[in-house]
């Protein structure tokens, strides 16, 4: 497998882009080797700058649930672009996307579009603080909600303490209002509420963790967060940037039947173009300018290209059988990966919810970030490189999700499982 062109591009990129990448995980440092540079993608496959082809299970980190360059999306974006790429003014298209989101997610009565998931989570927390008049926020250890200053906070163990910055350049007092608790530990969250009585504006959580690998909520966990927020007058924010329209039209909140106050979206609602959104009850969203005192704005919010792509993808997902097909393919891949690890005698745990999953190289169960962090990342790195050499493109991190799309075929799933079996045996 030649990589000369990708290596040359990486060397060129390092001269003008920090680390040669525009997002750190793309540098492949967690798995070793140099990154590949993608030339194009069609359906379930991508091709790098050297002409190597891969079956893609990254899907641009989740948005491409219909695959690369589906005809409906390409046509929608092309039509929108032919009429103007951006106006900085309102369009009918953004109303249509907002209506779609509200129609499918009952907890969302009004929605504000943004240009990224980071903007969505940052703005939802600002709204929560503005409405409650409180400063404190509880987030879960290992959950990632974008790179806003107050969310780049190290996770603690035991009873959470005030957060410390997890990145240089973040003032300590920015992070001081963010408290952390282990995912799936409701008792810890309850103690934080009691310790900081009347000071917590919101709890923000990925209802299905996706940024420490896929970790589903324990039975009763999300209900417990809902009850605690209601009891203490705090808002419950679900970060469904990954899970929104991935695990179902109603998101994770519909699957687990828990109603948040605010929900953040991204990825799929833009069909692969930059997008974000947050929404919730009408009375809460009325706190945003120009109706209320909480300011939030964005020049490219509701961009017609992103909105058109999102509408096209949602139309595909609304078709009968779409999520049944995703579940079928996800189950086939998940079962295959689990059996491959067992056959190779490699300790591994497969966590899956629908079409998103993670194979952890540890005995399990994997229920929080500490469990995930204890897994064998060196083994994953070897496995990753072996899979890449066999034409299977996975996320270059042990703490990310593997995504199945509607474009994958059963034959490609079988090919990926066969490659995994070989890779596990070669690297054990």
Q: Read out DSSP for 76-129?
A: HHHHHHTT-S--SS--HHHHHHHHHHHHH-TT-SEEEEESSHHHHHHHHHHHHH
Same domain, 355 and 228: no
Number of structural domains (the chain) is 2
Token pair of 1 as six digits: 């497998």
- Segment 381-386 long-range contacts (CB within 8 Å, at least 24 positions apart): 381/30, 381/31, 381/32, 382/427, 383/420, 383/423, 383/424, 383/427, 384/31, 385/31, 385/32, 385/33, 386/422, 386/423, 386/426, 386/427
Residue 224 belongs to domain spanning: 71-317
Report the relative pairing of strands 178-182 and 136-141 from DSSP bridges.
parallel
Q: Are 288 and 294 in contact (CB under 8 A)?
A: yes
Same domain, 216 and 233: yes
**Residue 428: what pLDDT?**
82
Q: Are 208 and 215 in contact (CB under 8 A)?
A: yes
Same domain, 123 and 35: no
Tell me the C-alpha to C-alpha distance, in Å, between residue 345 and each of 339, 426, 427: 10, 12, 11
CA 45 to chain centre: 21
Same domain, 143 and 160: yes
Same domain, 64 and 75: no
Same domain, 255 and 335: no
Angle formed by the axes of helices 186-195 and 221-232, to 10°? 10
Q: Are 247 and 356 in contact (CB under 8 A)?
A: yes
Choose the final residue of a domain: 266, 288, 317.
317
Tell me the C-alpha to C-alpha distance, in Å, between residue 256 and each of 144, 145, 190, 379: 20, 20, 20, 33
Q: Is 144 a catalytic residue?
A: yes
Paired with 277 in beta bridges are 113, 265
From the CB of residue 78, how many other CB atoms can be counted at a distance below 10 Å? 11
Angle formed by the axes of helices 92-104 and 304-317, to 10°? 40
Which one from 139, 267, 338, 390 is the annotated catalytic residue?
267
CATH of the domain at 361: 3.90.1150.10
Choose the final residue of a domain: 291, 317, 343.
317
Same domain, 229 and 139: yes
**Residue 324: what pLDDT?**
98
Same domain, 27 and 83: no
CATH of the domain at 235: 3.40.640.10
Using CA atoms of 291, 254, 273, 95 in order, give the dihedral in degrees to the nearest 10. -40
pTM of the model: 0.94
Give the position of tokens 């497969």: 350
**Distance (Å, rounded) from C-alpha 309 to C-alpha 41?**
16
**Residue 176: what pLDDT?**
77
**Residue 166: what pLDDT?**
63
**Residue 310: what pLDDT?**
98
Which one from 144, 221, 256, 323 is the annotated catalytic residue?
144
pLDDT along the chain (428 residues), means of 10: 92 96 92 95 98 98 98 98 96 98 98 97 97 97 84 42 57 80 97 96 98 97 98 98 98 98 98 97 98 96 97 98 98 98 97 98 96 96 98 96 98 98 95
Which one from 185, 239, 261, 371 is the annotated catalytic residue?
239
Q: Is 267 a catalytic residue?
A: yes
Paired with 210 in beta bridges are none
Same domain, 238 and 357: no
Phi and psi, residue 154, nearest 5°: -65, 145
Same domain, 370 and 403: yes
Same domain, 132 and 256: yes
Same domain, 254 and 106: yes
Q: Is 50 a catalytic residue?
A: no
Tell me the C-alpha to C-alpha distance, in Å, between residue 275 and each of 57, 68, 133, 170, 209: 21, 17, 28, 25, 20
Give the position of tokens 């692969």: 272
């Amino acid at each position: 497998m030649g990589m000369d062109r990708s290596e040359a591009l990486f060397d060129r990129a390092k001269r003008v882009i920090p680390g040669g990448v525009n997002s750190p995980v793309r540098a492949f440092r967690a798995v070793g080797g140099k990154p590949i540079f993608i030339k194009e993608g069609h359906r379930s496959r991508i091709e790098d700058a050297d002409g190597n082809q891969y079956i893609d299970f990254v899907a641009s980190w989740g948005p491409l649930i219909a695959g690369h360059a589906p005809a409906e999306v390409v046509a929608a974006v092309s039509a929108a672009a032919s009429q103007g790429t951006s106006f900085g003014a309102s369009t009918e298209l953004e109303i249509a996307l907002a209506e779609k989101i509200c129609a499918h997610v009952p907890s969302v009565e009004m929605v504000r579009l943004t240009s990224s998931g980071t903007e969505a989570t940052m703005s939802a927390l600002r709204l929560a603080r503005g409405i409650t008049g409180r400063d404190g926020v509880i987030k879960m250890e290992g959950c990632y909600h974008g790179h806003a200053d107050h969310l780049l906070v190290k996770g603690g163990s035991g009873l959470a303490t005030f957060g410390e910055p997890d990145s240089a350049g973040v003032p300590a007092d920015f992070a001081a209002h963010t408290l952390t608790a282990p995912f799936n530990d409701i008792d810890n969250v309850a103690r934080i509420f009691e310790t900081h009585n009347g000071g917590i504006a919101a709890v923000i959580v990925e209802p299905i963790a996706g940024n420490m690998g896929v970790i589903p909520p324990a039975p009763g966990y999300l209900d417990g967060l809902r009850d605690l927020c209601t009891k203490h007058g705090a808002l419950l924010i679900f970060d469904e940037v990954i899970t929104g329209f991935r695990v179902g039209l109603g998101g994770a909140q519909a699957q687990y039947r828990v109603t948040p106050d605010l929900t953040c979206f991204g990825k799929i609602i833009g069909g692969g173009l930059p997008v974000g959104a947050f929404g919730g009850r009408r009375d809460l969203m009325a706190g945003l300018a120009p109706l209320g005192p909480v300011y939030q704005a964005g020049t490219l919010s509701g961009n017609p290209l992103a909105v058109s792509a999102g509408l096209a993808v949602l139309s595909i997902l609304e078709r009968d059988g779409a999520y049944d097909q995703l579940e079928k393919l996800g189950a086939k891949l998940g079962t295959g990966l689990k059996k491959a690890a067992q056959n190779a005698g490699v300790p591994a745990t497969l966590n899956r919810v629908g079409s998103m999953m993670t194979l952890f190289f540890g005995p399990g169960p994997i229920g929080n970030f500490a469990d995930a962090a204890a897994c064998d990342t060196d083994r994953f790195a070897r496995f990753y490189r072996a899979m890449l050499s066999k034409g299977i493109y996975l996320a270059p991190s042990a703490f990310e999700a593997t995504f199945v799309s509607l474009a994958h075929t059963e034959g490609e799933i079988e090919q990926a499982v066969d490659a995994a079996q070989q890779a596990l045996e070669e690297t054990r």
